[in-house]
C-alpha cells in the first residue's frame, strides 16, 4: 500500500508538499528518512521538477534538510538539537505573543478562539496530523498577529520539525492532551488580559506541558517515537 495519496487536482507543488508533510506528521515517512525525487515522482505520479519544488518549500519550513551531493531527508533532531529549538522558539514566541497582544483586534481574537476549538476537535478525534496541524496554525496565527514578518518566518522554520514531532508524541501517548489544551486556553486568556509577564508565563507553561515527557525520557533522538499512523 502506498504511503502517499494520489494527486488529483491543480496546484501540484502545494498539494505535493501538503501530501509529504502529512505523511511525515503521521509517521508514514520517518524522521531522518531520505526523500528521493524519482521515487516520490513515481509514487505520486507527478514530474520530478514538481517534487523538487515541493521539497524546496518543505526545506524553507525546516521540515526537510537538503545536503549537497547527498540528497534530501526528513529533519530529525537529537535531544540537544530539540532542546535548542525549544529554547529559541520559547524566547521568540514570548516576544511574538507580547507584541500580538498589543495589536490584536476583537475579530482576531475570535479567529484565535476558532483555532483553539479546532485543536480540541481534532485532539478528541485522535487525528494526529490534523491536531498537530491545527496546533501549528494556532501558534502561527499569534506569530502573524505580532506584525513582524521576521519573527513569523523564523518561528515557522525553527518550529515545523517540532510540530511534526508533537504529532508523533501524541500517537505514542506521550502528550497529555487535556493539559496541552488547557495551556493553549491559558495563552488566549493571557493575550486578552494583555499583561506581558502573564503572557510570558502562559507560553512557558505551555512548553512545559507539551514537551516535558520527551525531554525527561532520556531518548537520544525523535525517532524513538516514530510510530506509523494506525490503518484500518
Domains of the chain: 12-74 (1.10.10.10), 79-225 (1.20.120.530)
Buried-state track 94-114, b at ≥16 Cβ within 10 A, e below 16 = bbbbbbbbeebeeebeeebee
For residue range 39-60, list pLDDT tens digits in order.
999 999 999 999 999 999 999 8
Whether residue 228 is predicted with pLDDT greater than 50 in this model: the reply is no
Residue 181: per-residue pLDDT: 65
33/159 Cα distance (integer angstroms): 19
Taking alpha carbons only, the member of 29, 42, 26 closest to residue 72 is 29
Within 13 Å, how many C-alpha atoms sit on residue 89's CB side? 25
Residues 12-32, buried b or exposed e (16+ Cβ, 10 A)?
bbebbbbbbbbbbbbbbbbbe
% of residues, the chain, pLDDT over 90: 47
The radius of gyration of the chain from alpha carbons, rounded to an integer in Å, stands at 18
Per residue in 153-186, pLDDT (tens digit) is 999 989 888 877 777 666 655 555 556 667 899 9
In 184-211, which positions are buried (b, 16+ CB within 10 angstroms) versus exposed (e)?
bebbbebbeeeebebbbebbebbbebbb
Confidence of residue 131 (pLDDT cuts 50, 70, 90): confident
* Residue 63 pLDDT exceeds 50: yes
Q: Please, which residues bridge with residue 71 across strands? A: 67
Q: Give CA–CA dist 122/130, Å, rounded.
A: 6
Helix (H) or strand (E) holding 156, with range, is: helix 149-171
Of 123, 142, 136, which is closest to residue 202 (Cα–Cα)?
142
Q: For the whole model, what pTM was predicted?
A: 0.76
CB–CB of 120/134 below 8 Å? no
* Residue 116 DSSP SS3: helix
The overall average pLDDT reported for the chain is 83
Amino acid at each position: 500500500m502506498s504511503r502517499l495519496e494520489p494527486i488529483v487536482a491543480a496546484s501540484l507543488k502545494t498539494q505535493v508538499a501538503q501530501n509529504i508533510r502529512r505523511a511525515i506528521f503521521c509517521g508514514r515517512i520517518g524522521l531522518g528518512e531520505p526523500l528521493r525525487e524519482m521515487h516520490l515522482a513515481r509514487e505520486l505520479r507527478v514530474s520530478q521538477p514538481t517534487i523538487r519544488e515541493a521539497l524546496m518549500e518543505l526545506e524553507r519550513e525546516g521540515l526537510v534538510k537538503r545536503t549537497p551531493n547527498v540528497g534530501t531527508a526528513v529533519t530529525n533532531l537529537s535531544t540537544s538539537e530539540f532542546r535548542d529549538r525549544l529554547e529559541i522558539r520559547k524566547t521568540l514566541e514570548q516576544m511574538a505573543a507580547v507584541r500580538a497582544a498589543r495589536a490584536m483586534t476583537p475579530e482576531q481574537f475570535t479567529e484565535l478562539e476558532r483555532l483553539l476549538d479546532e485543536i480540541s476537535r481534532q485532539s478528541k478525534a485522535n487525528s494526529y496530523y490534523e491536531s498537530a496541524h491545527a496546533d501549528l496554525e494556532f501558534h502561527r496565527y499569534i506569530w502573524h498577529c505580532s506584525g513582524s514578518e521576521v519573527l513569523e518566518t523564523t518561528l515557522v522554520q525553527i518550529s515545523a520539525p517540532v510540530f511534526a514531532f508533537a504529532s508523533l508524541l501524541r500517537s505514542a501517548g506521550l502528550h497529555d492532551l487535556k493539559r496541552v489544551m488547557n495551556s493553549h486556553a491559558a495563552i488566549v486568556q493571557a493575550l486578552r488580559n494583555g499583561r506581558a509577564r502573564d503572557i510570558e508565563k502562559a507560553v512557558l507553561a505551555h512548553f512545559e506541558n507539551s514537551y516535558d515527557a520527551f525531554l525527561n525520557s532520556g531518548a537520544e533522538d525523535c525517532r524513538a517515537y516514530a510510530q506509523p499512523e494506525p490503518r484500518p
